[in-house]
């Protein structure tokens, strides 16, 4: 009878432990361990008259199984997230490279147009028109050099400071960088359907070492980082004015800085809600 009851109790304990393992989430490990402990205590209480209990060595093995499962699931989730972010980074790089190639092709076509027109003006003896075209040609040549520099220097780009008070509240900012020729393209992508309101730009500036400035900013704001596990998430619990001092220290005097976000749609929603309450 004791042997049969021991098998029954062990099956009950293993069934509970297996259920905990199958449904485990990394952030629920403490709850799962607490549940396993209560099950072991219940079996010990019910089997007290026959001296039936879960041995401490076997109990510790099942605890270790839960801990290893939680660690595996956490690392698996981190790996998937890193893969997703890496795919996103590569897409961003491809978009930036494609923009650079399109812009260079456009400038080369424009340069050839000016060069042909310049030859015509020189041949006709129109020196005034030729001088004007030479100036325009010089501007195009400079633009081509800038595009070539952006293509060659992968650290060059725009550093941005943005917020979204309608989605995350007033004390939350995102600090990042993009190599796109038009940085607002990246901001608009971040304001897609995954957030209810558009992001507002507080600071946006070009740097030859945008990667270095972004990294330094993240280090200075490490104490207020929102996601402590995934460091590629660039959100921080701070106001734009609190971040401004760090930006000015790293990038020099900021020519443009908007302290109060426009948050147009969010403020319109507040007005609509206020009107509905009044009605």
**What pLDDT digit, counting tens, does each position of 143-183 carry?**
888 888 888 888 889 999 999 999 998 899 999 999 998 89
* CA 69 – CA 245 distance, rounded (Å): 44
Give the pLDDT mean for 184-213.
89
Which DSSP category does 221 fall into?
T
Contact by Cβ (8 Å): 269, 166 = yes
pLDDT above 80 for 214: yes
Alpha-carbon distances, residue 254 vs 121, 166, 199, 207, 242 (angstroms):
44, 26, 20, 12, 14
- Counting every residue written for the chain, the total comes to 279
pLDDT above 90 for 201: yes
Q: Give 269's Cβ-side CA count (13 Å radius).
A: 11
- In this predicted model, what pLDDT tens digit does every residue of 73-127 receive, in sequence order? 999 988 888 888 788 888 888 888 888 888 889 899 988 988 888 888 888 888 8
pLDDT above 70 for 49: yes
* CA 49 – CA 46 distance, rounded (Å): 8
* CA 179 – CA 156 distance, rounded (Å): 7
* CA 86 – CA 145 distance, rounded (Å): 30
* CA 66 – CA 20 distance, rounded (Å): 8
Residue 205: its pLDDT value, please? 87
Report the 10 Å Cβ neighbour count for 95.
Answer: 17
* CA 210 – CA 157 distance, rounded (Å): 5
Q: Which residue has the higher pLDDT, 120 or 35?
A: 35
* CA 201 – CA 161 distance, rounded (Å): 6
Q: Give 51's Cβ-side CA count (13 Å radius).
A: 0
Q: What is the pTM of this model?
A: 0.67
Q: Which long-range contacts (CB under 8 A, 24 or more apart) does 223-228 make?
A: 226/172
* CA 226 to the chain's CA centroid: 11
According to the per-residue pLDDT averaged within each range, which of 80-89, 216-225, 248-257 is highest?
Answer: 216-225
What percent of the chain shows pLDDT beyond 90? 37
What percent of the chain shows pLDDT beyond 70? 97
pLDDT above 90 for 129: no
């Amino acid at each position: 009878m004791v042997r049969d009851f021991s098998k029954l109790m062990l099956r009950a304990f293993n069934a509970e432990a297996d259920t905990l393992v199958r449904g485990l989430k990394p952030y629920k490990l403490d709850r799962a361990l607490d549940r396993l402990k209560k099950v072991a205590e219940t079996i010990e209480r019910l089997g007290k008259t026959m001296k039936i209990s879960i041995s401490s060595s076997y109990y510790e093995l099942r605890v270790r199984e839960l801990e290893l499962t939680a660690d595996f699931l956490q690392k698996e989730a981190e790996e998937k997230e890193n893969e997703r972010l890496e795919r996103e980074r590569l897409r961003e790089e491809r978009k930036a490279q494609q923009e650079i190639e399109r812009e260079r092709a456009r400038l080369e076509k424009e340069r050839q147009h000016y060069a042909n027109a310049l030859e015509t003006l020189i041949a006709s003896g129109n020196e005034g028109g030729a001088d004007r075209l030479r100036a325009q040609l010089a501007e195009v040549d400079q633009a081509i050099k800038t595009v070539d520099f952006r293509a060659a220097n992968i650290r060059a780009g725009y550093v941005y400071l943005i917020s979204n008070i309608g989605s995350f509240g007033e004390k939350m900012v995102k600090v990042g960088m993009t190599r796109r020729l038009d940085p607002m393209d990246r901001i608009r992508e971040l304001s897609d359907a995954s957030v209810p309101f558009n992001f507002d730009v507080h600071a946006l500036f070009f740097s030859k070492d945008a990667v270095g400035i972004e990294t330094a900013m993240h280090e200075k704001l490490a104490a207020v980082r929102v996601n402590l596990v995934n460091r590629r998430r660039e959100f921080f619990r701070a106001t734009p004015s609190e971040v401004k001092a760090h930006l000015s220290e790293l990038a020099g005097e900021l020519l443009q800085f908007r302290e109060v976000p426009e948050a147009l749609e969010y403020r319109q929603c507040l007005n609509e809600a206020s009107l509905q309450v009044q009605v």
